[in-house]
Structure 1
Amino acid sequence: MATASEVHRRIVALYPEVIATGRMDDALALIDPDVIDHRGGADGDHHGRRAWREKWEQAISGETGFHDVSVTVEQNVATDELSANVYLSRGTHTATGRRYEVRGMDMIRVRDGRIVEHWAIRDAVAMDHQLGLR
């Protein structure tokens, strides 16, 4: 069975492909059907693989979407079931053509080789500023 760190590394590696191609099946296979995605802020928690799919669909949509996305993990700390990353995310906002580069942190809980819980924090203020949205 894959460790939390291995699952985390795989989902991060697949993310740019999901954004570039819209193909999600390999990545969604790493997501438990009953996953809880703690998005925080006004979004709150989202439940289930369908909500995860919708999050990715929004990330590739024309008005709110992105392309040329890359994620570089700068630090990873893991236990048997938890994995936490500090990462640098880069990409281009599709609607404006502006680029962004921001740091974030996320953590996942893995059971039976699938993500059952996810937490994420990204510097949304810096991202919005770089994209000219604030």
Structure 2
Amino acid sequence: MTAQVRTAGEVHRALLDAYDDVLAGRLDDALAMIAPDVVDHRGGASGDHHGRDAWRAKWESLGESGFHDVAVTVEQNVTAGDVSVNRYTSRATHTASGRRYEVTSMDMIVVRDGQVVEHWALRDTDAIRAQLGSL
């Protein structure tokens, strides 16, 4: 029996559906959707990150971020071929201060054979800092 390969939009949705598991440290199912040679275009001082192990490290650090009540709501998805783009609202509470943030963000993935091979994300970190009072 041949496994059904998911479209870019389906993979994007499945990754978002797995976010609670990722936040809880259960990474295996979500990491199965990430290609071993993925490129995560982070930009800034950290530059691009390469490989599934770098993605695992990114997700593992979420548990150490100092935030809880983390939620993502997709406001719009556009899919064309092997590319899927989400415009979404992300929100969370800073655990130590109790302050919340809510910002609009975007991310884009390229999918081949049912796995993410490239990823870009834009997040308004200045707005987050402003809402949290520059913690």
- Whether the aligned pair in 2 keeps the contact of 1:76 and 1:85 (CA below 8 Å) is yes
Shift, 1:65, TM fit:
3.3
TM-score scaled by length of structure 2: 0.91
Structure 1 SS opposite 2:72: strand
Tell me the alpha carbon deviations over residues 2-34 of structure 1, each in whole angstroms, 9 at most, x when there is no partner: 000000011112123311x11111111110011
Q: Give, in whole Å, the separation in 1 of the partners of 2:30 and 2:127.
A: 27
Q: Which runs of 4+ in 1 moved over 4 A?
A: none
Tell me the alpha carbon deviations over residues 11-60 of structure 1, each in whole angstroms, 9 at most, x when there is no partner: 112123311x1111111111001100001111210001111111111111
Partner of 2:50: 47
Counterpart amino acid of 2:57? E
Shift, 1:108, TM fit:
0.1
Tell me which moved more, 2-11 or 85-94: 85-94
- 5+ long unaligned stretches in structure 2: none
Sequence identity (%): 63
Taking the TM superposition and a 5 Å limit, the aligned residue runs for 1:31-70 are 31-61=34-64, 64-70=65-71
Greater C-alpha Rg: 2
Counterpart amino acid of 1:8? H
Q: CA RMSD in A?
A: 1.3
Q: Give, in whole Å, the separation in 2 of the partners of 1:72 and 1:52.
A: 21
Counterpart amino acid of 1:124? T
Q: Give, in whole Å, the separation in 1 of the partners of 2:79 and 2:59.
A: 25
- 5+ long unaligned stretches in structure 1: none
TM-score scaled by length of structure 1: 0.91
